[in-house]
Amino acid sequence: MALENADIEKIAILARLQVTPNEMNDYTNSISSILSLIDQMQQVDTNGIAPLSNPHDATQRLREDTVTCDDQREAFMAIAPATQDGLYLVPQVLD
């Protein structure tokens, strides 16, 4: 499928891109070659070829939701510079 400069102008308007006349031929040739490659790929016979696997089809192995360490809240609160009512006090960042 070959594109013409008028097609590129329409695409540029839809995409809100500014394409200079100097760039017009480059874009026309580049996009035409991409579309030509797509046409070639669509003509390939893929009968009997299994599609690639999709990672979204796989399920994730989940581990058991168990507690693996002791509660160390009191130990961490004891070494914090400032705490009050079980919360960490930090300097004000915003006015």
For the chain (95 residues), the mean pLDDT of every run of 10, in chain order, is 87 93 91 94 91 79 88 93 94 88
Q: Which amino acid is at 17?
A: L
Ordered structural domains, the chain, with CATH: 5-42 (1.10.20)
Q: Is 8 exposed, middle or buried (0-12, 13-18, 19+ CB in 10 A)?
A: buried
Q: What is the pLDDT of residue 23?
A: 92
